[in-house]
């Protein structure tokens, strides 16, 4: 812990810990705009100390859900509990939350210090306490010495730190973040990702983090939900979602995998043999699958072995194909290898950069075990 | 020709050429008349003739005699109250149109200027038809056996109502234009951070739109301070303001020199008012970033 906590807030925090209620509880939350279901019967519990991400493509309803939690939208149905208190009908200013917005949205006419203490001023905290809190949060976000600057005199990263400081200064029951890194360049984003994990860990305030960027969600969160068409596709620990996607959407979305389509030729117990444009492919059989079913199979880039011809023997049950290396894209520690197979399909393989035996336009071998990918019955669109 | 081309490239020359038309216009139609008024104000009138006899008697009269000071005070009170009423009335209108007007907001704003489709005399006369002793309001009251409302008949209140009606479009427009560039999301930020709506208005909306509001106030204050048509039609015998007395000098009494001096005083009062308003404007505190203008 880098900075001492003011006493009265420590006690607030103790009160929160004493309560067994989850920090945030959503029950059957619904919201429609005109006839579009933006949020469709969403239930969720987030506990104190969690870094929870809401991940989804644009239009999936994640921002609407966040705005419902903030009180900026009223749900058509369902309830919102924050810290065990039903806030469904409460206006945003009575909810005791902090929020960080995509465009930072600092008050342009107020200096950094006045921006940060704004929530404390609204709570009518005595001025010496405000000052104390301000100094504490400034040291946490490492913005000491910038108190008297106006927002337009700050860089993007500094604005973001001030926005975070404003969201955290009153030690809210919960901090909502709406794509806070979307407007920062890559280097700054990486830096702020590290910083945000640090703030979250030090303050022990639950973060609800909305993003369309899966890398961010996977880097930052402890648990996450993938949202699609207003519904939660899957909720759970991030590694669980990444390794064991439960729905076709999650499998297709996380890790942007290779997308393989085919038809089941025959079943061999838990394994199905797929006709993949002329190649026989062994995949784990989805529940209720029978021969003749159309299948979507998603295979993450890093789960494929790539080597020169006959460098090693295939393991038992492994899929092994020959192909031609079309291109290599250098990405630093790893590279993307583009392999065209005999059936004309192309696979992307992520592997170590240092592979001198692999040459462009030469023959290569790719291989993977059936369980490396995730198979789903094709959905009729 | 080469040198002319070079001249055209010079930033100073380009600046001069671009500002020339405007500068000429201001010189001929504003500065020259002002200078002539200033000169006349130090002269003397006798039998409707201006005599170049330099003196400061006119200013002594205006600033020394109680009558003139009374009219000045009346006009000041009138200008302040009319500006205030316009402000209180116009802000919600402009706010509603800017925030909720959607694709109709331009039309809605132009509608507030609909009275401009006719001339000022016609508009003031129309007000007379409503507020006067044989006007719509009091006639109706009398028809139903009520007493007519005395205060609406040829009084300063009637003038004030007329002036508010005349100048409110300026206030609405100035505030509306300011709110167009206002990021309403900042209010959501304020709410989430614990500000009740009225507090968010005072902390965010008001200071960030103060320039527009100040322009609106100036646009209402100055014509009200100089008003003479409206008080003459609606104010009656006892409703005369500074503008009426000023106009009188150029008409009935023919004392041009005194009138000029009154004009100069009016000009300086307005100038002082603008300076006071200008002092309240801090570009940084208004969210000026140095990029948008």
The alpha-carbon gap from A35 to the nearest alpha carbon of chain B, in Å, equals 20
Q: Write out pLDDT tens, residues A230-281.
A: 999 999 999 999 999 999 999 999 988 999 999 999 998 889 999 999 899 9
Predicted pLDDT of residue B32? 94
Does A150 contact B at CB distance below 8 Å?
A: yes
Q: Are residues A238 and A273 in the same domain?
A: no
Contact A93, B195 (CB under 8 A): yes
Q: Are residues B7 and B123 in the same domain?
A: no
Predicted pLDDT of residue A183? 82
- Which of A261-275, B88-102, B185-199, B270-284 is predicted least confidently? B270-284
Interchain contact, B195 vs A170, CB within 8 Å: no
Does A93 contact B at CB distance below 8 Å?
A: yes
Predicted pLDDT of residue B292? 41
Average pLDDT value for chain A? 89
Whether A2 maps to a domain, the answer reads no
Interchain contact, A92 vs B188, CB within 8 Å: yes
Q: Are residues A234 and A108 in the same domain?
A: yes
Whether A252 maps to a domain, the answer reads no
Q: For chain B, list residues whose CB is within 8 angstroms of any CB belonging to chain A.
A: 183, 185-186, 188-196, 199, 203-204, 207-208, 284-287, 289-291
Residue A89's pLDDT band, with cuts at 50, 70 and 90, is very high
The residue from A247, A281, A297 where one domain ends is A247
Interchain contact, B190 vs A91, CB within 8 Å: no
Whether B270 maps to a domain, the answer reads yes
The residue from A217, A247, A277 where one domain ends is A247
Predicted pLDDT of residue B2? 61
Q: Are residues A157 and A296 in the same domain?
A: no
Q: Are residues A203 and A276 in the same domain?
A: no
Predicted pLDDT of residue A135? 95
Does A170 contact B at CB distance below 8 Å?
A: yes
Nearest Cα to A6, choosing from A173, A132, A164? A132
Whether B183 maps to a domain, the answer reads yes
Q: Are residues B123 and B258 in the same domain?
A: yes
Q: Are residues A174 and A264 in the same domain?
A: no
SS3 B18: helix
The residue from A200, A227, A247 where one domain ends is A247
The alpha-carbon gap from B282 to the nearest alpha carbon of chain A, in Å, equals 9
Q: What is the pTM of this model?
A: 0.83
Residues spanned by the domain of B11: 1-40
Predicted pLDDT of residue B153? 77
* Chain B contact probe: residue of A64, A71, A87, A92 with most B CBs at under 10 A: A92
Share of residues in chain A with pLDDT > 70 (%): 94
The alpha-carbon gap from B79 to the nearest alpha carbon of chain A, in Å, equals 30
Q: Are residues A84 and A186 in the same domain?
A: yes
User: H-type helices in B193-230, by residue range?
Assistant: 197-200, 206-208, 210-225, 229-230
Q: Write out pLDDT tens, residues B203-233.
A: 999 999 999 999 999 999 999 999 998 998 8
Task: Say whether pLDDT at A14 is over 80.
Answer: no
Torsion sign across C-alpha atoms B16, B19, B20, B24:
negative
Predicted pLDDT of residue B48? 84
- Which of A271-280, B5-14, B99-108 is predicted least confidently? B5-14
Phi, psi of A269 (to 5 degrees): 70, -120
In chain A, residues with a C-beta closer than 8 Å to the C-beta of B286 are 109
Average pLDDT value for chain B? 89
For B126-144, letters b (16+ CB in 10 Å) and e give bbbebbbeebeebeeeeee
Predicted pLDDT of residue B7? 77
Interchain contact, A109 vs B186, CB within 8 Å: no
Q: Are residues B11 and B156 in the same domain?
A: no
Whether B184 maps to a domain, the answer reads yes
Q: Are residues B264 and B120 in the same domain?
A: yes
Whether A57 maps to a domain, the answer reads yes
Q: Are residues A47 and A171 in the same domain?
A: yes
Q: Are residues B131 and B262 in the same domain?
A: yes
Task: Say whether pLDDT at A114 is over 90.
Answer: yes
CATH number for position B235: 1.10.3720.10
């302040």: which residue's tokens?
B80
Predicted pLDDT of residue A21? 81
Whether B46 maps to a domain, the answer reads no
Q: Are residues B99 and B158 in the same domain?
A: yes
Interchain contact, B196 vs A93, CB within 8 Å: yes
Whether B88 maps to a domain, the answer reads yes
Does A117 contact B at CB distance below 8 Å?
A: no
For range B247-271, the mean pLDDT: 92
CATH number for position A174: 3.40.50.300
Whether B201 maps to a domain, the answer reads yes
For range B104-121, the mean pLDDT: 84
In chain B, residues with a C-beta closer than 8 Å to the C-beta of A155 are none
Whether A25 maps to a domain, the answer reads yes
B199 vs A71, A96, A122: nearest CB: A122
Residues spanned by the domain of A183: 7-247
Predicted pLDDT of residue B35? 94
Q: In this structure, what is the dihedral angle of CA atoms A180, A184, A185, A190, given to the nearest 10 degrees?
A: -40
Q: Write out pLDDT tens, residues A338-348.
A: 999 999 999 99
Q: Write out pLDDT tens, residues A268-324.
A: 888 999 999 989 999 999 988 888 899 999 999 999 999 988 888 888 889 999 999
Residue A5's pLDDT band, with cuts at 50, 70 and 90, is very low
Predicted pLDDT of residue A105? 94
A91 vs B186, B191, B287: nearest CB: B191
The count of domains in chain B is 2
The count of domains in chain A is 2
Residue B126's pLDDT band, with cuts at 50, 70 and 90, is confident
Whether B45 maps to a domain, the answer reads no
């Amino acid at each position: 812990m880098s900075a001492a906590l003011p006493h009265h807030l420590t006690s607030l925090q103790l009160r929160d810990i004493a309560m067994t209620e989850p920090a945030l509880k959503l029950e059957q939350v619904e919201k429609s705009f005109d006839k579009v279901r933006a949020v469709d019967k969403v239930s969720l519990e987030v506990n104190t100390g969690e870094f929870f991400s809401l991940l989804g493509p644009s239009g999936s309803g994640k921002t609407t859900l966040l705005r419902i939690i903030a009180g900026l939208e009223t749900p058509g149905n369902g309830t919102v509990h924050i810290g065990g208190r039903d806030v469904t009908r409460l206006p945003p200013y009575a909810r005791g939350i902090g929020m960080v917005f995509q465009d930072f949205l600092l008050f342009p006419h107020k200096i950094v210090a006045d921006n940060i203490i704004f929530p404390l001023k609204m709570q009518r905290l005595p001025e010496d306490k405000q000052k104390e809190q301000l100094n504490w949060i400034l040291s946490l976000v490492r913005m000491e010495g910038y108190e008297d600057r106006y927002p337009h005199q700050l860089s993007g990263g500094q604005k973001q730190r001030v926005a975070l400081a404003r969201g955290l200064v009153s030690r809210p029951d919960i901090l909502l973040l709406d794509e806070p890194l979307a407007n920062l360049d890559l280097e700054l984003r990486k830096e702020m990702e590290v910083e945000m994990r640090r703030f979250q860990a030090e303050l022990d305030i639950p973060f609800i983090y909305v993003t369309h960027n899966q890398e961010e969600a996977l880097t930052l969160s402890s648990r996450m939900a993938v949202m699609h068409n207003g519904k939660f596709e899957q909720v759970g620990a991030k590694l669980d979602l990444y390794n064991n996607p439960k729905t076709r959407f999650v499998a297709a979305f996380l890790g942007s995998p290779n997308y393989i389509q085919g038809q089941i030729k025959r079943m061999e117990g838990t394994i199905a043999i797929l006709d993949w444009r002329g190649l026989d492919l062994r995949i784990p059989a989805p529940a209720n699958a029978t021969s003749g079913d159309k299948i979507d199979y998603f295979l993450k880039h890093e789960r494929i072995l790539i080597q020169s011809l006959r460098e090693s023997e295939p393991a038992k049950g492994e899929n092994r194909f020959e192909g031609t290396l079309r291109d290599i894209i250098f990405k630093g520690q790893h590279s993307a290898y583009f392999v065209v197979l005999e059936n004309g399909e192309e696979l992307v393989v992520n592997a170590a950069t240092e592979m001198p035996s692999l040459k462009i336009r030469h023959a290569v071998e790719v291989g993977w075990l059936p369980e490396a990918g995730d198979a789903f019955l094709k959905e009729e669109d | 020709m080469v040198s002319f081309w070079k001249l055209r490239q010079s930033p100073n020359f380009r600046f001069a050429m671009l500002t020339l038309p405007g500068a000429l216009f201001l010189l001929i139609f504003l500065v020259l008349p002002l200078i002539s008024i200033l000169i006349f104000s130090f002269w003397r009138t006798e039998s409707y003739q201006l005599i170049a006899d330099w003196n400061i008697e006119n200013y002594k009269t205006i600033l020394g005699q109680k009558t003139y000071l009374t009219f000045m005070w009346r006009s000041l009170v009138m200008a302040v109250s009319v500006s205030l009423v316009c402000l209180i009335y116009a802000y919600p209108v402009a706010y509603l149109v800017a925030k909720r007007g959607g694709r109709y907001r331009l039309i809605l704003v132009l509608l507030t200027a609909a009275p401009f489709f006719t001339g000022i005399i016609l508009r003031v006369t129309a007000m007379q038809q409503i507020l006067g002793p044989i006007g719509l309001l009091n006639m109706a009251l009398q028809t139903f056996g009520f007493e007519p409302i005395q205060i609406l008949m040829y009084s300063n209140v009637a003038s004030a109502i007329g002036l508010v009606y005349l100048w409110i479009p300026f206030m609405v427009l100035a505030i509306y234009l300011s709110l167009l560039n206002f990021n309403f999301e900042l209010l959501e930020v304020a709410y989430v951070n614990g500000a009740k709506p009225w507090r968010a208005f005072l902390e965010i909306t008001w200071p960030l739109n103060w320039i527009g509001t100040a322009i609106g106030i100036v646009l209402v204050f100055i014509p009200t301070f100089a008003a003479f048509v409206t008080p003459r039609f609606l104010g009656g015998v006892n409703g005369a303001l500074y503008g009426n007395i000023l106009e009188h000098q150029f008409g009935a009494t023919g004392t041009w020199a005194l009138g000029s001096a009154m004009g100069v005083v009016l000009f300086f009062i307005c100038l002082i008012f603008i300076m006071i308003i200008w002092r309240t404007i801090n570009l940084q505190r208004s969210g000026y970033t140095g990029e948008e203008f």
